[in-house]
Amino acid sequence: MRSVYRSFCAGAFALIAVSASAESTFSLTSLTPDVALKLATAARESCNEQGYQVAVAVVDRSGLLQAFVRDRFATPHTVEVAERKAWTALSFRIPTSEMEKATNQETTMMGIRHASNALMVGGGLPIEAAGSLLGGIGISGAPGGDLDEACAADGLLAIEDDLLF
């Protein structure tokens, strides 16, 4: 009888250990470098077709730069601005144009504009697929954040099939 009891206890502890370890880790989905570069290139090409010289940054789900492309005539500030737009879209999980409106001087959310690295200007979009946040894309250089954002949306359309999982 003691042997059965010991076996039962050992089995119960093993089950507890297995379920505890299963809950202490998780899996994440992320963009491959090739898909991130395809996204950045497609977005840049969309802006080029409209005559805009831009910089395009893609950040991964941790906010780290994963892909970057810049037209040879895109001005120096576009490098930093594109990356900050991508980071902001990822961090707040909404387009930066929406953050721009939500944090204007007439709202209680205005203080968030002072968050380190955040840039509340149109041109950044979160990258999402199947309910997972994968990263952010930011563009700078078109004559307006709305135009930057339209190019980013075109880039996302170009990788739509790559994101189906």
Per-residue pLDDT tens listing for the chain (165 residues): 555 555 545 555 555 555 555 689 888 889 999 999 999 999 999 999 999 999 999 999 999 999 999 999 999 999 999 999 999 999 999 999 999 999 987 888 888 888 899 999 999 999 999 889 999 999 999 999 999 999 999 999 999 999 976
Q: If we measure between CA atoms, which residue out of 96, 102, 95, 157 comes closest to residue 129?
A: 157
Q: Are the CB atoms for 152 and 122 separated by under 8 Å?
A: no
The span from the CA of 165 to the CA of 29, in Å, is 10
Domain locations in the chain as residue ranges: 33-163
pLDDT at 31: 94
What CATH number was assigned to the domain covering residues 33-163?
3.30.450.150
Q: How far is CA 3 from the centre of its chain?
A: 55
pLDDT at 6: 56
33: left (phi over 0), alpha (psi -120 to 50) or beta: alpha
For the chain, counts of helices (H) and of strands (E): 5, 4
C-alpha distance from residue 57 to each of 28, 43, 54, 88 (Å): 21, 10, 10, 12
135: left (phi over 0), alpha (psi -120 to 50) or beta: left
pLDDT at 125: 99
Q: How far is CA 73 from the centre of its chain?
A: 26
pLDDT at 27: 84
The span from the CA of 33 to the CA of 107, in Å, is 38
Entry pTM: 0.84
